[in-house]
Chain A
Amino acid sequence: MFKADFWFPTSVNALADGTDDLFIFILWVTLISMVIVMGAMIWFAYRYRAGQPINNDGPLPTHHLGLEVAWTLVPTAILGVIFVWGTRDYTKMSIPAPDAMEIRVTGQKWFWTFDYPEHNVRIQATPEASEQARIDGNPVGLVVPVNTPVKLVGSSVDVIHSIFIPAFRVKKDVLPQRYTVSTFEATEEGEYDLFCAEYCGTKHSGMITKVSVVSETVFAEFMAKEQTKSVGPADGALVFASSGCAGCHAITPATAGVGPSLHGLYGRSEPLTDGTTVLADENYLRESIMKPMAQIVEGYGPIMPSYSGRLNEDELNALVLYIRGLGRDDGGAL
């Protein structure tokens, strides 16, 4: 009961190594406070049960400053420790390493899709596909290499879902029309559960698959032979052309057109008309396509039409990937 393994599946995430210890710490705090408080309660209930002769040790105490200060400050201090501990680990678990391998996660009623932009591979983790993968002797579900930092960039095409990998202590909601990020670094090869943790309707409890942590060699082989192609920057370039983006936005470091140039935009701080600045991350790019009026770059007018309803999730993801790579030394590759 005082071992983390009693409460949790064994942790195989290098970034979450402090969380189990914090749980065991709070468990001890709980047990000790329960013993003190329940012990006092039971002892008093026995010792001062009605019918016992009333002892006359002076008036009954109705307050005691020292005691009350003590039982305010001691819990405050312990809670302070727990807060700092939990926050430290959370920060570590939440911020991906800059060199983390990126995987796109798409939630959809009622299966997960995993896209590997670096490898141009897509895995649709439906129950049928997982069964087939097992028959073929392939790794099932979300396939990741061991000892490699991974960044999951998630979104949903319908309602909110939540990717939950108990063995990694990872959980992150995926939402329509925005990206959320989570990260992990698996330390043990093996197969682990992956659940949907945000209620999403009829087959919510069927929206489960596996995470397969494999060696780097197996991972590379699997990526090379997997035939289902993902969407990547090249597809984004096609969307860019067919949607008429180039009519207003240059992709070179050009002088100002109708709209701002997209060259080198990703990762830059953009000044807005309201005087604030915004970091041009994936969410900013996505929002500027879907809701162009939300944040307008200084020096430009609010004239761009919304592409909401005109691009599907794949097209949008591809477009964001394409814009992201514009003006980067690696020519748009990830």
Chain B
Amino acid sequence: MIENNSHPAEPSYLTASRGIRSWLFTVDHKRIGVMYLVATTLFMMTGGILAGVLRMELFTAAGDLVDADTYNRLFTLHGAIMVFLVIIPAAPAVIGNFVLPLMLGAKDVAFPRLNLASFHIYMLGAALLLVSMIMGSFDTGWTFYTPYSTSTSGPVAWALGGVFVLGFSSILTGLNFIVTIHKMRAPGMSWFRMPLLLWALYATSAVQLLATPVLAITVFLLVLERTIGIGIFDPNLGGDPILFQHFFWFYSHPAVYIMILPAFGIISEMVSVHAQRPIFGYKGIALSSLSIAIVGSLVWGHHMFTSGQSIYASVVFSFLTFFVAVPTAIKVFSWVATLYRGQIQLSPPMMYVFTFLALFMIGGLTGVVLGALSLDVHLHDTYFVVAHFHYVMMGGAIIAYIGGLHHWWPKIFGRMYPKKLASFTSILVFLSFNMTFFPMFLVGSRGMPRRYYEYIVSFQSLNQIATVGAVLLGLSLFVTLGYLVWGAIWGPVASANPWNGLSLEWRTASPPIEHNFHGQPTVQGGPYDYPIRPTDLDTVGTGVPA
């Protein structure tokens, strides 16, 4: 408390400097995180509105709201925006950027300027995608399968350029995080005293660093094929379209781990803090992140069971796919076991933990269905797959991210959102999510292929339920956005440690000062050494632990 009083007027990172330039050219990881937050939120709204139009179009079996080509461009944009501009950067670039140095007890990331460059590169990539949108947009699907993508008209090369550029942002962020975790942990923070979010971000960064260059190369080759006709993937030019699919999924399957691993980390933090109890199976969770990253890089061929790849390859990929399910199951069991004999707060972050666990389990277990070769033949490229990956990517990654925003919101903005409204809205999100996506399992297993502008009449009632659900889900998410923004500006002032967290980010002021801590914090124990002792809370705001 003495430390705290000696810095009575120290401004927070939000007020330390003013003006638009002080934001756009900041090297403060916290401001960069907030800029990513604004950008990804805008893109998520864009992608969400596109999804709304798609659902409206699918309300009836006949194509009536937009024409077929527009529909094809809309679902392509929805996918590309959500994958490349929202889910891949959301958790690492928003929550990771803001929280990672604070959790480590560091002043910033290892390379602050590189971190700013990552943001600028991200915006450049986003701008290229938006240019392609303005130029009439492209209709390849976010998967860019050849030879369709080399033969269709439209500004495909611009979009590919955007994806290429965005990849570098991802690579540089990954590099930055890895170096920061290696070199800038606070004194006393051994690897196994790191908060689990850091383990998850470490595994994520490794995948970003190793897999993203393959995407860049693939996209580059595709642009060469499209622009000057070098035959690499197009069989009419002597190329091999299945090679493209291998290259594409060699990145894009690990990319789903780029999306979901940070979510796992966020859940680990929230479940322990909001149950006020040590995490169960710390090492199991930490090491399963790494094994998911490794095994997850070897399962890409399960996207290609019906592509014409060899039967033997399919068998191997199916085997490895089941292997990756085991560490994921271990995590889920450990999170639930963490609740045992806890002091469970039904706070909004905990509500999102429950939402995540329910939705992610459905997503994961339907992944087991798709991993089975015989069933995948029928279900591949149907709405069953659409439902599965929305359960995993939205029900898993996005729900954990939104939960994480609720968890760190008071730290980021120093103010609290209305908690009761937030908990209530989380239930609406859960219900409307299931109403939107559960019917898709059924309509898919009954045979409705994905990317269909029109469909046969017998699929209509399930589609109508999904559309109504999507409207409700959209409304619930707008309410969420509304109270979060309200809370950030007008909400009650939050204390430095509103949830009684033990990791280092809770030991500095909310919002943190520009340089995070007044002194170098040191660590004497693990991040989940609950039950909390009064001395753990004494140090609030000083940046110096007890």
Chain A interface residues toward B at CB < 8 A: 7-9, 16, 18-19, 22-23, 26, 29-30, 33-34, 37-38, 40-41, 44-45, 48-52, 54-55, 57, 60-64, 67-68, 71-72, 75-76, 79-80, 82-83, 85-91, 93-95, 158-160, 162, 164, 166-167, 169-173, 175-178, 180, 193, 195-206, 208, 291, 308-309
Q: What distance in Å separates the Cβ of A312 from its nearest Cβ neighbour in chain B?
A: 12
* CB neighbours of B305 from chain A (8 A): 90
Known A160-B241, A172-B306, A172-B308; judge A87-B382 contact (CB<8 A).
Answer: no
Contact A80 B238 (CB under 8 A): no
Contact A196 B449 (CB under 8 A): yes
* CB neighbours of A75 from chain B (8 A): 325-326, 329
Contact B361 A34 (CB under 8 A): yes
Q: What distance in Å separates the Cβ of A272 from its nearest Cβ neighbour in chain B?
A: 18
Residues 269-309 of chain B, each 1 if its beta carbon lies under 8 Å from chain A, else 0: 00000011111111110000000000000000000011110
**A199-B306 Cα distance, complex, nearest whole Å:** 14
Q: What distance in Å separates the Cβ of B536 from its nearest Cβ neighbour in chain A?
A: 16
Contact A48 B275 (CB under 8 A): yes
* CB neighbours of B368 from chain A (8 A): 26, 29-30, 79, 82
**A80-B325 Cα distance, complex, nearest whole Å:** 11
Contact A200 B148 (CB under 8 A): yes
* CB neighbours of A89 from chain B (8 A): 373-374
**A64-B375 Cα distance, complex, nearest whole Å:** 36
* CB neighbours of B371 from chain A (8 A): 82-83, 86
Q: What distance in Å separates the Cβ of B407 from its nearest Cβ neighbour in chain A?
A: 16
B152 located at the interface, meaning its Cβ lies under 8 Å from any Cβ of chain A in the complex:
yes
Q: Chain A residue with minimal CB distance to B314? A: A90
Contact B326 A79 (CB under 8 A): yes
* CB neighbours of A162 from chain B (8 A): 306, 381
Chain B interface size, under 10 / 10 to 19 / 20 to 34 / 35 or more: 35 or more
* CB neighbours of A79 from chain B (8 A): 322-323, 325-326, 368
**A201-B452 Cα distance, complex, nearest whole Å:** 10
* CB neighbours of B145 from chain A (8 A): 159-160, 198-199
* CB neighbours of B276 from chain A (8 A): 50
Query: Which residues of chain B from 330 to 367 have any CB-CB distance to chain A below 8 Å in the complex?
Result: 330, 332-334, 336-337, 339-346, 354, 357-358, 361-362, 365-366
Contact A176 B235 (CB under 8 A): yes
Q: What distance in Å separates the Cβ of A74 from its nearest Cβ neighbour in chain B?
A: 9
**A176-B340 Cα distance, complex, nearest whole Å:** 57
Q: Chain A residue with minimal CB distance to B306? A: A171
Known A60-B278, A160-B147; judge A37-B332 contact (CB<8 A).
Answer: yes
List the 9 shortest-distance A-B pairs measured between CB atoms, nearest first: A86-B372, A166-B447, A90-B373, A89-B374, A177-B235, A44-B339, A205-B452, A159-B148, A197-B381
Q: Chain A residue with minimal CB distance to B304? A: A173
Known A67-B337, A205-B453; judge A166-B325 contact (CB<8 A).
Answer: no
Contact A76 B326 (CB under 8 A): yes
* CB neighbours of A76 from chain B (8 A): 326
Q: Chain B residue with minimal CB distance to A167? A: B447
* CB neighbours of B454 from chain A (8 A): 205-206
Contact B333 A37 (CB under 8 A): yes
Q: What distance in Å separates the Cβ of B71 from its nearest Cβ neighbour in chain A?
A: 9
Contact A26 B365 (CB under 8 A): yes
Contact A198 B147 (CB under 8 A): no
B179 located at the interface, meaning its Cβ lies under 8 Å from any Cβ of chain A in the complex:
no
Q: What distance in Å separates the Cβ of B248 from its nearest Cβ neighbour in chain A?
A: 13
**A53-B310 Cα distance, complex, nearest whole Å:** 61
B230 located at the interface, meaning its Cβ lies under 8 Å from any Cβ of chain A in the complex:
no
User: Which of A55, A173, A178 has a CB less than 8 Å from the CB of B306?
Assistant: A173
Q: What distance in Å separates the Cβ of B325 from its nearest Cβ neighbour in chain A?
A: 6
Show 25 A/B contacts (Cβ-Cβ < 8 Å), sorted by A.
A29-B368, A30-B368, A37-B336, A41-B354, A45-B344, A49-B346, A50-B276, A52-B343, A61-B340, A62-B281, A62-B528, A79-B322, A79-B326, A83-B318, A85-B372, A90-B377, A94-B311, A170-B378, A175-B241, A177-B235, A197-B381, A201-B148, A204-B72, A204-B453, A291-B238
* CB neighbours of A16 from chain B (8 A): 374, 378
User: Which of B72, B278, B366 has a CB less than 8 Å from the CB of A62?
Assistant: B278
Known A7-B446, A91-B311, A171-B377; judge A44-B322 contact (CB<8 A).
Answer: no
B2 located at the interface, meaning its Cβ lies under 8 Å from any Cβ of chain A in the complex:
no
User: Which of B242, B318, B344, B357 has a CB less than 8 Å from the CB of A87?
Assistant: B318
Query: Which residues of chain B from 383 to 435 have any CB-CB distance to chain A below 8 Å in the complex?
Result: none
Contact B308 A62 (CB under 8 A): no
B319 located at the interface, meaning its Cβ lies under 8 Å from any Cβ of chain A in the complex:
yes
Q: What distance in Å separates the Cβ of A87 from its nearest Cβ neighbour in chain B?
A: 5
B139 located at the interface, meaning its Cβ lies under 8 Å from any Cβ of chain A in the complex:
yes
Contact B141 A45 (CB under 8 A): no
**A75-B342 Cα distance, complex, nearest whole Å:** 26
User: Which of A49, A63, A197 has a CB less than 8 Å from the CB of B280?
Assistant: A63
Q: Chain A residue with minimal CB distance to B236? A: A176
Contact A48 B341 (CB under 8 A): yes
Q: What distance in Å separates the Cβ of B70 from its nearest Cβ neighbour in chain A?
A: 10
Q: Chain B residue with minimal CB distance to A172? A: B306
Query: Which residues of chain B from 485 to 538 have any CB-CB distance to chain A below 8 Å in the complex?
Result: 528, 530-531
Known A171-B380, A308-B236; judge A60-B241 contact (CB<8 A).
Answer: no
Contact A202 B361 (CB under 8 A): no
Contact B372 A22 (CB under 8 A): yes
Of A45, A80, A93, chain B has the most CB atoms within 10 Å of the CB of: A45
Q: What distance in Å separates the Cβ of B381 from its nearest Cβ neighbour in chain A?
A: 4
* CB neighbours of B455 from chain A (8 A): 205
* CB neighbours of B380 from chain A (8 A): 171, 197
Q: What distance in Å separates the Cβ of B187 from its nearest Cβ neighbour in chain A?
A: 24
**A90-B370 Cα distance, complex, nearest whole Å:** 13
Query: Which residues of chain B from 437 to 463 have any CB-CB distance to chain A below 8 Å in the complex?
Result: 442, 445-447, 449-456
Contact A86 B375 (CB under 8 A): yes
Q: Chain B residue with minimal CB distance to A38? A: B358
Of B141, B330, B342, chain A has the most CB atoms within 10 Å of the CB of: B342
Known A41-B354, A176-B147; judge A93-B235 contact (CB<8 A).
Answer: no
Q: Chain A residue with minimal CB distance to B453? A: A205
B151 located at the interface, meaning its Cβ lies under 8 Å from any Cβ of chain A in the complex:
yes
Contact B330 A72 (CB under 8 A): yes
Of B365, B373, B382, chain A has the most CB atoms within 10 Å of the CB of: B373
* CB neighbours of B256 from chain A (8 A): none
Contact B333 A71 (CB under 8 A): yes
Of A16, A94, A180, chain B has the most CB atoms within 10 Å of the CB of: A94
Contact A50 B344 (CB under 8 A): yes
Q: Chain B residue with minimal CB distance to A85? A: B372
User: Which of B235, B339, B358 has a CB less than 8 Å from the CB of A48?
Assistant: B339
Q: What distance in Å separates the Cβ of B533 from its nearest Cβ neighbour in chain A?
A: 14
Q: Chain A residue with minimal CB distance to B447? A: A166
* CB neighbours of A206 from chain B (8 A): 454
Q: Chain A residue with minimal CB distance to B71? A: A205
* CB neighbours of A199 from chain B (8 A): 72, 141, 145, 148, 450-451
Q: What distance in Å separates the Cβ of B313 from its nearest Cβ neighbour in chain A?
A: 12
**A183-B266 Cα distance, complex, nearest whole Å:** 46
Q: What distance in Å separates the Cβ of B262 from its nearest Cβ neighbour in chain A?
A: 22
**A54-B342 Cα distance, complex, nearest whole Å:** 9
Q: A164-B382, A169-B374, A175-B308 are in contact. List 15 more A-B contacts (CB 8 A).
A: A9-B446, A45-B346, A45-B354, A48-B340, A55-B341, A61-B340, A62-B280, A63-B280, A63-B281, A68-B281, A68-B330, A86-B372, A176-B235, A199-B141, A204-B453
Known A48-B341, A75-B325, A75-B326; judge A198-B381 contact (CB<8 A).
Answer: yes
**A61-B366 Cα distance, complex, nearest whole Å:** 31
